[in-house]
């Protein structure tokens, strides 16, 4: 949540800040602001609304200076107004701070600062930090970094803070406690950001700060300290994402581009893991076959779309390995007193690698002695430090808030892990593993076939964009698809939608069905349950629902019951979510477009949820 950028170097800071903020706007877009240091002063411009509102406000103002910070906000404390937009300053206007996270004890700090005569002007938790730094700089002769260190001693909560001071016009200070911040330096410049896309144009060697670290970033140099002021070694990771990947590349929206990038995301996620004929190679999983054989249960923890990927994984892991799988929302997991031991394997899934609940869940699991595998798309993200093994998805940067290509890549990674466990534990005949690998390898081309139906799906979207409620129903892995389809529609079109187990419908939700309610039903990959699914479709039709069916080509029974029918190619039943989901992503996208909404920046949401 919140996009943060800082720049120091030989060029004008403002264009670099705005470019980085544009790349990180997906992290928060209710207000934006910049602060540029020059001539012993800090120029600040802030504006409520999307980044464009700030750009309009800046107009011809150039805010000259070669050191600055910028912020796009996702509000936690204080409404999204000009006054609450970051950067926040101290009384003198000589210190400016941007922040992502929540400072839990800001009320008591604020009261203390007020009693000392400080004038705080916003409703945010962040502003106190600027005033704390001001107090320390006034009382002691110290550097900005030392003042930030002193200020954060007083803070409770999670934060990524980036600070500048008029008195130190060559240095940016960044600090991290449980919220991501990355720093980098190249020839003659230093850069700080809350997400990789903002740094890509300048450097690919980046240093994600660890918890309780402070960075001092200057043109061409980075120094790292711990919260006690001891200098640390600077460790860099190499980012392979291409610069173009964070651009729209001719598509109207990032979401549409990312939907169309899914065949590549699948190929890139599978390539190395399927390099040996008929076998799964997972270099990332270092446990011995004996250790893997001792696993007695698997627990999957995740949020939102990643949770739906976990729901799908439960089916394939249990079917292929016969290991029982529990599935938990990460926000619930550690509060329910789960039973875990050293024979438990916990899989934490987070495309961003920064979701606070998922991080807390896997840390808890490790403390309980469980083995932890993380599935993530972001190199250097927090989850990569908290897991025993990391399974990267190779989807490239995902900018649209709604997860699409990262979800498909997660499905691939989780199926790879399931097959690997089956292979190592001998629970699946090698021929079956080889056959499943072949089916997975065919998926990218099959996704292309689904994408080719975009015109038809767009036409149907126009027909249903006026609906108030949608129901999505499925059985088995089809239920996963229904849940994910409903989430996509809700988040970008603001239409109420529920994903439901088709068999459960008549126990309550069928009361919602009335003439005009569209019901999306997943009829693929359910062979033993196909007749039951059709019966459920008949039931909703009998109550006046309009049916949108996802079925395999040539399914005439489905066609006879469909107001709209979308065909997806045949694959193995457990792999059908990969194909079905693409249809429903396009349906949600086109409905949002028909309603004139911006699918990339849905209201109230942020791409990376770094607070609980």
Binding site for ligand AGP (CB under 6 A): 303-306, 350-352, 355, 358, 401-403, 491, 605, 608-609
Instruction: Give the nearer residue to ligand AGP in terms of CB position, either 436 or 610.
Output: 610
Three-class DSSP labels, 306-324: HHHHHHHHHHHHHHHHCCC
User: Whole-number minimum distance, CB 378 to ligand AGP, in Å?
Assistant: 8
What's the order of all strands across the beta sheet hosting 389-392?
Answer: 325-329, 297-302, 344-349, 371-376, 389-392
Q: What is the rounded distance in angstroms from the CA atom of residue 547 to the CA atom of residue 472?
A: 10
Active site residue 142: no
Instruction: Give the nearer residue to ligand AGP in terms of CB position, either 159 or 589.
Output: 589
Selected catalytic residue, list 94, 371, 405, 607: 607
Contact 152, 227 (CB under 8 A): yes
Locate 521 and state its tokens: 């039903």
Instruction: Give the nearer residue to ligand AGP in terms of CB position, either 338 or 353.
Output: 353
Cβ-count burial of 466 within 10 angstroms (0-12 exposed, 13-18 middle, 19+ buried)?
exposed
| Closest chain position to ligand AGP (CB) | 304
User: Whole-number minimum distance, CB 406 to ligand AGP, in Å?
Assistant: 7
Instruction: Give the nearer residue to ligand AGP in terms of CB position, either 127 or 484.
Output: 484
User: Whole-number minimum distance, CB 314 to ligand AGP, in Å?
Assistant: 17
Number of Cβ atoms within 10 Å of the Cβ of 271: 11
Contact 365, 344 (CB under 8 A): yes
Instruction: Give the nearer residue to ligand AGP in terms of CB position, either 304 or 474.
Output: 304
Strands (DSSP E) along 233-350, which ranges? 237-238, 297-302, 325-329, 344-349
Selected catalytic residue, list 2, 163, 171, 303: 2
User: Whole-number minimum distance, CB 386 to ligand AGP, in Å?
Assistant: 13
User: Whole-number minimum distance, CB 365 to ligand AGP, in Å?
Assistant: 15
State the pairing for strand pair 157-165/95-103: antiparallel
User: Whole-number minimum distance, CB 349 to ligand AGP, in Å?
Assistant: 6
Cβ-count burial of 432 within 10 angstroms (0-12 exposed, 13-18 middle, 19+ buried)?
middle
Q: What is the rounded distance in angstroms from the CA atom of residue 371 to the CA atom of residue 361?
A: 12
State the pairing for strand pair 325-329/297-302: parallel
Active site residue 488: no
Instruction: Give the nearer residue to ligand AGP in terms of CB position, either 72 or 355.
Output: 355
Q: What is the rounded distance in angstroms from the CA atom of residue 50 to the CA atom of residue 489?
A: 22
End-to-end CA distance of the chain: 11
Instruction: Give the nearer residue to ligand AGP in terms of CB position, either 1 or 217.
Output: 1
b/e sequence 154-189, b meaning 16+ C-beta within 10 Å = bbeebbbbbbbbbebbebbbbbbbbbbbbbbbeeeb
Instruction: Give the nearer residue to ligand AGP in terms of CB position, either 350 or 575.
Output: 350
User: Whole-number minimum distance, CB 178 to ligand AGP, in Å?
Assistant: 15
User: Whole-number minimum distance, CB 440 to ligand AGP, in Å?
Assistant: 21
Q: Within 13 Å of residue 486, how many CA atoms lie on the same side as its CB?
A: 24
- Report H helices in 85-212: 106-115, 127-139, 144-152
Q: Cα–Cα distances in Å, from 446 out to 155, 432, 433?
A: 52, 20, 20
Catalytic residues: 2, 607
């Amino acid at each position: 949540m919140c996009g943060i950028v800082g720049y120091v170097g030989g060029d004008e800071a403002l264009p670099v800040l705005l470019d980085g903020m544009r790349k990180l706007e997906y992290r928060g877009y209710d207000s934006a602001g910049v602060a540029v240091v020059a001539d012993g002063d800090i120029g600040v411009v802030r504006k409520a609304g999307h980044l464009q509102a700030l750009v309009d406000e800046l107009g011809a103002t150039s805010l000259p200076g070669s050191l600055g910070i910028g912020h796009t906000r996702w509000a936690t404390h204080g409404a999204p107004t000009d006054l609450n937009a970051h950067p926040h300053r101290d009384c003198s206007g000589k210190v400016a701070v941007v922040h992502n996270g929540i400072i839990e004890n800001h009320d008591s700090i604020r009261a203390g600062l007020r009693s000392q005569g400080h004038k705080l002007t916003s409703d945010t938790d962040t502003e106190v930090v600027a005033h704390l730094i001001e107090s320390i700089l006034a009382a002691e002769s110290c550097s900005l970094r030392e003042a930030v260190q002193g200020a954060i001693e007083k803070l409770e909560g999670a934060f990524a803070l980036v600070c500048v001071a008029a008195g130190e016009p060559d240095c940016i200070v960044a600090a991290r406690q449980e919220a991501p911040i990355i720093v980098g330096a190249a020839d003659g410049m230093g850069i700080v950001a809350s997400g990789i896309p903002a740094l890509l144009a300048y450097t690919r060697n980046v240093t994600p700060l660890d918890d309780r670290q402070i960075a001092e970033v200057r043109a061409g140099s980075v120094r790292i300290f711990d919260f006690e002021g001891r200098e640390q070694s600077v460790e860099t990771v190499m980012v392979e994402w291409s610069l173009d990947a964070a651009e729209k590349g001719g598509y109207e929206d990032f979401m549409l581009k990312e939907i169309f990038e899914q065949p590549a995301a699948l190929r890139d996620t599978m390539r190395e893991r399927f390099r040996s004929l008929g076998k799964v190679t997972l270099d990332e999983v270092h446990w011995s076959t004996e250790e893997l054989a001792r696993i007695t249960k698997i627990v999957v923890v995740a949020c939102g779309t990643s949770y739906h990927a976990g729901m799908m994984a439960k089916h394939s892991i249990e079917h292929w390995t016969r290991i029982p799988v529990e599935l938990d929302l990460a926000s619930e997991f550690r509060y329910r007193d789960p039973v875990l031991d050293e024979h438990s394997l916990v899989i934490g899934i987070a495309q961003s690698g920064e979701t606070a609940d998922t991080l807390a869940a896997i840390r808890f699991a490790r403390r309980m002695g469980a083995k932890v595998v993380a599935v993530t798309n972001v190199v250097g993200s927090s989850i990569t430090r908290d897991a025993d093994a990391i399974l990267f998805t190779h989807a490239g940067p995902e900018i649209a808030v709604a997860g699409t290509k990262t979800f498909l890549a997660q499905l691939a990674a989780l199926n790879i892990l399931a097959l690997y466990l089956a292979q190592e534990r001998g629970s699946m005949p090698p021929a079956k593993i080889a056959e499943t690998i072949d089916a997975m390898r065919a998926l990218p081309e099959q996704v292309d076939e689904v994408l080719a139906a975009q015109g038809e799906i767009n036409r149907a979207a126009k027909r249903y964009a006026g609906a108030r409620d949608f129901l999505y129903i499925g059985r088995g892995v089809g239920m996963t698809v229904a849940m994910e389809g409903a989430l996509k529609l809700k988040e970008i079109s603001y239409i109420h939608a529920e994903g439901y187990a088709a068999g459960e419908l008549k126990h309550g939700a069928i009361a919602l069905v009335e003439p005009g309610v569209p019901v999306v039903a997943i009829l693929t990959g359910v062979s033993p349950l196909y007749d039951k699914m059709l019966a459920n479709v008949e039931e909703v039709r009998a109550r006046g629902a309009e049916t949108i069916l996802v079925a395999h080509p040539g399914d005439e029974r489905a066609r006879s019951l469909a107001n709209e029918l979308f065909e997806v190619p045949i694959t193995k039943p457990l792999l059908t979510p990969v194909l079905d989901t693409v249809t429903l992503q396009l349906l949600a996208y086109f409905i949002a477009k028909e309603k004139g909404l911006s699918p990339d920046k849905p209201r109230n949401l942020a791409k990376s949820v770094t607070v609980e």
